Amino acid sequence: MTLAHAVAQTGNGFLSPTGVEIAFLLVGVATLAAAVLTVTTRQLVHAALWLVVALGGLAVEYLLLTAEFIAWVQVLIYVGSVVVLLLFGLMLTKAPIGRSPDADSGNRAAALTVAAAAAAALVWVVVDAFRTTWIDLEGPAQGSTRVTGEILFRHWVLPFEALSVLLLAALVGAIVLSRRSPEGREGKS
Amino acid sequence: MHLVYPAVLSVLLFCTGLYGVLARRNAILVLMSVELMLNAVNLNLVAFDVWLRDALHSGQALTLFTIAIAAAEIGIGLAIVLMVYRNRGTSDIDRLRDTAEGREPPGGPAPAEKAEATA
């Protein structure tokens, strides 16, 4: 029914992609290439910078799916803070600048096998299941800041507050873990 | 938009992250791969939320929660990695084999390191 409806409405199909689909595909290819470079490059700092490209590409994909608020949250939190944290971590563990030959461990072939098998199985299942399904992107944006704020503070208030407690606990935990206790004395707290 | 495009992109990103988690040696690179996997899940959540036109927008709310939890996770994870690096002088996960079964580490520095780590 969905297929007939969609085809009758806009003539959707693999052979007549819309502009949004073409943009999604192009950005998706760039995102995937950046992700592959992230996990295969031998320069540790470059891995973090390719991660920026991958996460930014995902933000563009969210925009194309009309989830604006999530896209900007992605830019702010992932590109803004998580990557900076990762770069600081690389710096504080004295990661070598330049090529490091031991960036990959010995079980690379096994990892490649597992990842390829998982990708093949999942792509097969997903394509088989959603071959005739189209997303209707018409109408008002479903992820604008107004909509997201309304559903978040009308229906999801309790999880939201619990999440803030979790963030506080994580903050305290990170501080306690990374605090250097004074020499020769045990930390009191 | 065809639903297969975001779903397949999400699958491929997840498997890329899976490869990174299994194949990387540096703990921080493993954390980066975990971030890739979390982002793949987020893309799936957003795509299916937009497809289903859920009145509660559960997918987008869960995506926001996942992003917040990922931020907490990366903070705690980096703190642990830095502590391990301070105690052991390395953050390569191949060499942290204290709790591995079956293979005794040669030499005697392991108990001293353990005592230092728990101090």
> Which H or E run includes A167?
helix A157-178
The amino acid sitting at A103 is A
pLDDT for position A182? 63
Provide the pLDDT for residue B104: 57
Q: What is the CATH number of domain B4-97+107-113?
A: 1.10.287.3510
A152 to chain B, any CB pair closer than 8 A? The answer is yes
Chain A hits for B11, Cβ within 8 Å: 119, 122-123, 126
CA distance B40 to B6: 9
Element (H, E) at B47: helix B27-52
B8 contacts in A (CB within 8 Å)? 123, 126-127
- Which pLDDT value is given to residue A189? 43
How far are the Cα atoms of A59, A89, B88, B92 from residue B95, in angstroms, in the given order? 36, 18, 10, 6
All structural domains of chain B with their residue ranges:
4-97+107-113
pLDDT score of B5: 92
Partners of residue B92 on adjacent β-strands: B26
- Report the residue from B7, B71, B94 with minimal CB separation from A77: B71
Out of B16, B75, B94, closest to residue A36 by CB: B16
pLDDT at B108: 45
For residue A13, the model assigns a pLDDT of 61
Residue pLDDT, tens place only, A137-156: 887 888 888 989 999 999 99
Tens-digit pLDDT profile for chain A (189 aa)? 455 454 445 556 666 778 889 999 999 999 999 999 999 998 888 999 999 999 999 999 999 999 999 999 999 999 889 999 999 998 888 877 778 777 787 788 999 999 999 999 999 999 999 988 888 888 788 888 898 999 999 999 999 999 999 999 999 999 998 887 665 454 444
Chain A residues 62-121 with CB within 8 Å of chain B: 62, 64-67, 69-70, 73-74, 77-78, 81-82, 85-86, 88-90, 92-93, 95, 102-108, 110-112, 114-116, 118-119
Report A:28-67 residues touching B (Cβ under 8 A): 28, 31-32, 35-36, 38-39, 44, 47-48, 51, 54-55, 58, 61-62, 64-67
Which contiguous run of DSSP H or E holds residue A28? helix A19-40
Local confidence pLDDT in tens for the 119 residues of chain B: 889 999 999 999 999 999 999 998 889 999 999 999 999 999 999 999 999 988 888 999 999 999 999 999 999 999 999 998 988 888 888 888 887 777 655 544 444 444 455 54
CA distance B108 to B119: 18
Residues of A in contact with B47 (CB under 8 A): 65, 135
ipTM of model over 0.90: no
**Would you state the pLDDT for residue A126?**
94
Q: Which of A79, A138, A73, A162 is nearest to B1 (CA)?
A: A138
Report CB contact under 8 Å: B78, A142. Answer: no
pLDDT of B119 reads 45
- In chain B the first and final C-alpha atoms are separated, in Å, by 57
DSSP structure class, residue A95 = P
- Closest by alpha carbon to B58, among A161, A27, A20, A151? A151
**CA B29 distance to own-chain centroid:** 9
CA atoms of A164 and A168, how far apart (whole Å): 6
